Chains A and B, each alone.
Chain A
Amino acid sequence: MAKSAYEVKLSQFEGPLDLLLHLVQKNEMDIQDIQIATITAQYLEHLKHMEAQNIDVASDFLLMAATLLYLKSRTLLPVSRVEVEQDEGVDPEEELKQRLLEYQRYKEGAQKLEQFPRLFRDVFPRPPLALDEVDSAASSEVQPQIDISVYDLVRAFSAVMRLKQAPPVHRINGGGISVTLGVRLLLQQLHGQERVSFQRCFTAATTRLEVVVQFVAMLELIRLQLLSFEQHSHGGMVYMYPSERIRNGCYADIEHMLDLKEPLDD
Chain B
Amino acid sequence: MINLKAAVEAVLFSCDSALSMTKLEQIFEVDQEELRRALQQLQHECQQEGRGVVLQEVAGGFQLRTRPEYAQWIMQLKRTRNMNLSRAATETLAIIAYRQPVTRAEVEALRSVDSGGIVRTLLEKDLVRVAGKKDAPGRPIIYATSTRFLEVFGLNSLEDLPSLRDFRTDELEFESEMNFEPEKGGQQ
> Interface of A with B (CB < 8 Å)?
1-4, 6-7, 14-18, 22, 25-26, 30-32, 58, 60, 64, 99, 101-110, 112-114, 116-129, 136, 147, 149, 151, 155, 233-236
Asked if residues B84 and A30 are in contact (CB atoms below 8 Å), the reply is no
The reply to whether the CB of B1 lies closer than 8 angstroms to some CB of chain A is no
CB neighbours (8 Å) of A125 from chain B are 16-18, 63-66
Asked if residues A14 and B172 are in contact (CB atoms below 8 Å), the reply is no
Within the assembled complex, what's the spacing in Å between the Cα atoms of A110 and B64?
26
Asked if residues B71 and A106 are in contact (CB atoms below 8 Å), the reply is no
**What is the minimal beta-carbon distance from A261 to any residue of chain B, in angstroms?**
36
Asked if residues B167 and A127 are in contact (CB atoms below 8 Å), the reply is no
B86's closest neighbor in chain A, by CB?
A1
A58's closest neighbor in chain B, by CB?
B113
The reply to whether the CB of B123 lies closer than 8 angstroms to some CB of chain A is yes
Interface hits, B74-117 → A, CB 8 Å: 74, 79-84, 86-91, 93-95, 97-98, 110-114, 116-117
User: What would 19 A/B residue contacts be, using CB atoms closer than 8 Å?
Assistant: A1-B86, A2-B117, A3-B117, A14-B87, A14-B113, A106-B110, A107-B91, A109-B98, A110-B91, A113-B162, A116-B155, A120-B82, A120-B152, A121-B83, A123-B68, A124-B66, A125-B16, A126-B15, A149-B130
Within the assembled complex, what's the spacing in Å between the Cα atoms of A129 and B16?
7
A14 touching B81 in the complex, CB below 8 Å, given contacts A7-B114, A64-B112, A234-B148 = no
- Which 4 pairs from chain A and chain B are nearest by CB? A2-B117, A15-B113, A110-B94, A122-B68
**What is the minimal beta-carbon distance from A173 to any residue of chain B, in angstroms?**
32
CB neighbours (8 Å) of B66 from chain A are 123-125
Asked if residues B112 and A99 are in contact (CB atoms below 8 Å), the reply is yes
CB neighbours (8 Å) of A122 from chain B are 68, 71
Asked if residues A1 and B118 are in contact (CB atoms below 8 Å), the reply is yes
The reply to whether the CB of B121 lies closer than 8 angstroms to some CB of chain A is yes
Asked if residues B111 and A17 are in contact (CB atoms below 8 Å), the reply is yes
Asked if residues B153 and A2 are in contact (CB atoms below 8 Å), the reply is no
List the count of A-B residue pairs having beta carbons below 8 Å apart: 167
Asked if residues B147 and A234 are in contact (CB atoms below 8 Å), the reply is yes
The winner among A25, A106, A107, A128 for most chain B CB atoms within 10 A is A106
The reply to whether the CB of B48 lies closer than 8 angstroms to some CB of chain A is no
Asked if residues B167 and A119 are in contact (CB atoms below 8 Å), the reply is no
Asked if residues A31 and B171 are in contact (CB atoms below 8 Å), the reply is yes
Interface size class of B (residues with CB under 8 A): 35 or more
Query: Which of these, B79, B146, B154, B161, contacts A119 with CB under 8 Å?
Result: B154
Within the assembled complex, what's the spacing in Å between the Cα atoms of A71 and B93?
31
CB neighbours (8 Å) of B13 from chain A are 126
CB neighbours (8 Å) of B57 from chain A are none
Asked if residues A106 and B172 are in contact (CB atoms below 8 Å), the reply is no
Asked if residues A4 and B114 are in contact (CB atoms below 8 Å), the reply is yes
Can you add 5 more A-B contacts, CB < 8 Å, to A16-B113, A125-B17? Answer: A17-B112, A107-B91, A113-B93, A122-B68, A149-B130
Interface hits, B40-55 → A, CB 8 Å: none
A124 touching B88 in the complex, CB below 8 Å, given contacts A105-B167, A149-B129 = no
Asked if residues A16 and B114 are in contact (CB atoms below 8 Å), the reply is no
CB neighbours (8 Å) of B93 from chain A are 110, 113
CB neighbours (8 Å) of B184 from chain A are 25
A117 touching B68 in the complex, CB below 8 Å, given contacts A14-B88, A106-B164, A127-B79 = yes
